[in-house]
Amino acid sequence: MRRNYRAGAYAEDRFRRGRRSWRRRALPTLAVALVPLCVVYVAISAFFGGSAWWFVAGLMCGLTVGVGLYAWETAPWDVLKWGIGARGERQTEDVLRDLEGRGWTVEHDLERDRGNDDHLVVGPNGVYLLETKTLHGRIWVEDGVLSNESPDDPENVYRWDGLAGGLRGRAVSVSRKIEADTGAAQWVQGVVVVWGDFAQRTVEVDRVAYVHGSVLAEWLRAQRPVRVELAIG
């Protein structure tokens, strides 16, 4: 696996590429919608004359340009979520920096055949594969599934059904790679780092831990080494 030294690089790249594509599609629409408005404002001011009309025209053109710039800087949710994800991964990176100062090894943004692994942490008590999630609204874990509700519509609940299974599978892959490289079996613990309104703080279920980012470093330091045969059995 190839790694990046900066967390969130993969997500940030996806965000930038998506936003560029969005802008290429949005620019003609913005131009068609907004440029004629400015032309109308200027034409009305020229017709009636007077400083007051030109002031109003300047104000309206400024507001129109502001709307255009806002639309230019935004993007659809399927693009914005990558930018939000990148910021969350950088928050996790900041938390893990304290452990690096204590002798832990931390790698970020490890590329896989498809997608990436957010963080790999190696400490005196084990190896941890971390996936960062930045979510809005109330967040909780129930029956081993991470869920969050819309802050504007509590009845709109999203369940991350495939998250735990996917993380467990990737943790096994990392464990096998370590064994192939070193000849020693090594248990790799999957951890979902949660940023947001996660009142439970820490939940461990079915070999996956869900940990709020604010207590991540403390939780990692408190873990005990896991026997491989016990973890796999």
Residue 224 lies in a domain: yes
Collapsed DSSP state (helix, strand, coil) of residue 34: helix
d(CA 176, CA 155): 41
Supply the range of the domain harboring residue 213. Answer: 124-232
Residue 200 lies in a domain: yes
User: What's the predicted TM-score (pTM) here?
Assistant: 0.75
- Residue 127 one-letter amino acid: V
pLDDT tens digits, 115-158 = 789 999 999 999 999 999 999 999 999 999 999 999 888 889 99
Residue 108 lies in a domain: no
Residue 101 lies in a domain: no
Distance in angstroms between the alpha carbons of the first and the last residue of the chain: 27
Q: Are residues 202 and 134 in the same domain?
A: yes
> Which helix (DSSP H) or strand (DSSP E) does residue 217 occupy?
helix 216-222
Q: Are residues 139 and 228 in the same domain?
A: yes
pLDDT at 231: 43
Q: Are residues 142 and 215 in the same domain?
A: yes
Residue 110 lies in a domain: no
Which DSSP symbol is given to 133? Answer: E
More confident residue, 214 or 43: 214
Q: What is the mean pLDDT of residues 64-77?
A: 68
Residue 103 lies in a domain: no
pLDDT tens digits, 8-38 = 887 878 778 887 886 777 777 766 666 776 7
Q: Are residues 70 and 138 in the same domain?
A: no
Q: Are residues 224 and 147 in the same domain?
A: yes
pLDDT at 30: 66
Q: Are residues 130 and 214 in the same domain?
A: yes
Token output for 118: 């957010």
Residue 182 lies in a domain: yes
Counting DSSP H helices and E strands in the chain, the numbers are 6, 8
pLDDT at 6: 73
From 42-56, 150-164, 180-194, 216-230, the region with the lowest mean pLDDT: 42-56
Q: Are residues 72 and 167 in the same domain?
A: no
- Residues of the chain with pLDDT > 70, as a percent, come to 86
Q: What is the mean pLDDT of residues 95-115?
A: 88
pLDDT at 196: 96
- Residues of the chain with pLDDT > 90, as a percent, come to 48
What domain count does the chain have? 2
Residue 66 lies in a domain: yes
Q: Are residues 147 and 61 in the same domain?
A: no
Q: Which positions ≥6 away from 194 have C-beta within 8 Å?
A: 133, 135, 139, 146, 210, 211, 212, 213
